Amino acid sequence: MNWDQLDWSALDRLRDLFLRGTPAPGPYWRSESDLANYDFTYGERIGWKWDAVLRGLDPSEWRCRKGAVVDWGCGSGIAGRRVVDWLGGDAVTELNLVDHSALAVQYAASAAMARWPGLKVRTGPVPPDEPIALLVISHVLNELDGAGRSEMRRMIGQADTVFWVEPGTHGASRDLGAIRDELLDRFEIVAPCPHREPCGVNRPGNEGHWCHFFARPPGGIFAESGWVRFAQRAGIDLRSLPYCYLMLTRSPRERPQEDGRDRQEIRILGLPRKYKGFAKVFGCQTSGVGNLVLQKRDARDLFKRLDELSGRSLLARVEGDRLKEVLVVGAPARSEGAGSETF
């Protein structure tokens, strides 16, 4: 597939379906070509969101979990491939691709086998009570009717770990947040929440808010005429990649809590807003969600790079609504390497 081969009638039809955001009456992939077109464009953009999410996690912590990776609602299989890539093909014993579209499953299976010829690739439903090491769910939630949701819940019930990415819309994010709260008693929340309390965004008074982040696409695409033409034609802002996500596991995990300086973990939601001499961030912490203020004089270097903060975790001392002694933890949404930086 290349930019000159794009089938715009297929892409337009798919875009209209996705924008509708309601359960489709049934499978909507009509041909292998539909899936190839999706994979090359909309699917690749979803891959960039997965890149941003996975960059914040350390694959070595997950490698020991042997067993099947299941990509449920796999479509062209882009999410499952991103996760297997991230884990390292050798670390995965089996990739199971599930979708109510047989065409999608076939496409995703061929793509996975072409990429990892030695990998055991299975297709079709996961039998009840068969354990799932890692369940991947991506951009499926708003397509599910009651039966689809029951099936998805059954999959989650069989999973040791769930990696889940959805669009960063108000509706999808609040839906995901409600499901998160239902699962609190069975799973550890690895990310994005810096706590295991009920979701602060779901508290009364916060109805206008939603937990979402912005991924950055690879820098080079703005100079690629194919992407630029695609974005114009599809009516997409290439710079804006909003997403929400949830990483859950049944295995107990350590999380950085307060340090010796009374700093606590805060996850930055949405985008920081910059004013003269200060910025406001909407942060999530154990006590709930709310606006926090970062004074330029308290973190001059950080202030210059505020646009890199979406989705990052901070360790900070909170005085009233003011952030002090800020330490950015984890890996950035785009650049290379993990670590932490003090400001």
Ligand X SMILES: C[S@@+](CC[C@H](N)C(=O)[O-])C[C@H]1O[C@@H](n2cnc3c(N)ncnc32)[C@H](O)[C@@H]1O
Binding site for ligand X (CB under 6 A): 18, 27, 43, 46, 73-75, 78-79, 99-101, 104, 138-140, 143-144, 148, 151
Q: Which is nearer to ligand X, 103 or 211 (CB)?
A: 103
Give CA 14 to chain center in angstroms. 21
Residue 248 is inside which H or E element, if any? Answer: strand 241-249
Minimal CB distance to ligand X: which residue?
A: 75
Nearest distance from C-beta of residue 292 to ligand X, angstroms: 32
Q: What is the rounded distance in angstroms from the CA atom of residue 199 to the CA atom of residue 210?
A: 10
Quote the least distance from Cβ 69 to ligand X, whole Å: 13
Q: Write the DSSP string, 118-157.
A: TSEEEESPPPTT--EEEEEEES-GGG--HHHHHHHHHHHH
Nearer to ligand X, 126 or 271 (CB): 126
Nearest to ligand X of 46, 323 (CB atom): 46
CB 268 within 8 A of CB 309: yes
d(CA 110, CA 332): 32
Least distance in angstroms from the C-beta of 212 to ligand X: 16
**Which residue, 105 or 201, has its beta carbon nearer to ligand X?**
105
State the minimum distance, in angstroms, from the CB of residue 75 to ligand X: 2
Give me the least distance between CB of 44 and ligand X, in Å please.
Answer: 9
Nearer to ligand X, 27 or 131 (CB): 27
If one counts every other C-beta atom within 10 angstroms of the C-beta of residue 319, the result is: 11
